[in-house]
Amino acid sequence: MQRQLVAESCRVLAETLQAVQEGRHVRRGPPRPGPPSHIPGPPSQIQRLTPREIQVLSLIAEGHSTKEIAHRLKITFKTVVSHRTHLLQKLGIHESATLVRLAIRASLVPL
């Protein structure tokens, strides 16, 4: 049962990433009440990030795992987790999917 849930979650994430890259909107589950969540504007928000945070954000948006990012940047797994946490806090974001949308809007990753 748990394997099926993991497989389904991976499938949904892959579909969502593909949709974001294609500029499509994907809505899953019941509609949210109230106005849609605000995605911070790229220029002003990206300027607040350090060069390393921008590197980590780009790699997250490209779909690399935390372990892959750590290996690629020659830093520890915990350091990547720390950078991701700082990104979420600085940008006022609560989910990685919104990080990906922001990175795409800021042209940090090729479409």
Q: Which domains does the chain have, with CATH numbers?
A: 40-105 (1.10.10.10)
What average pLDDT does the segment 53-72 reach?
Answer: 94
On average, the pLDDT of the chain sits at 78
Phi and psi, residue 101, nearest 5°: -60, -45
CA distances 70 to 19, 23, 65, 66, 109, Å, are 26, 28, 9, 6, 18
Give pLDDT, residue 108: 85
> 17-26, 72-81, 99-108: lowest mean pLDDT where?
17-26
pTM: 0.61
What average pLDDT does the segment 38-48 reach?
Answer: 63
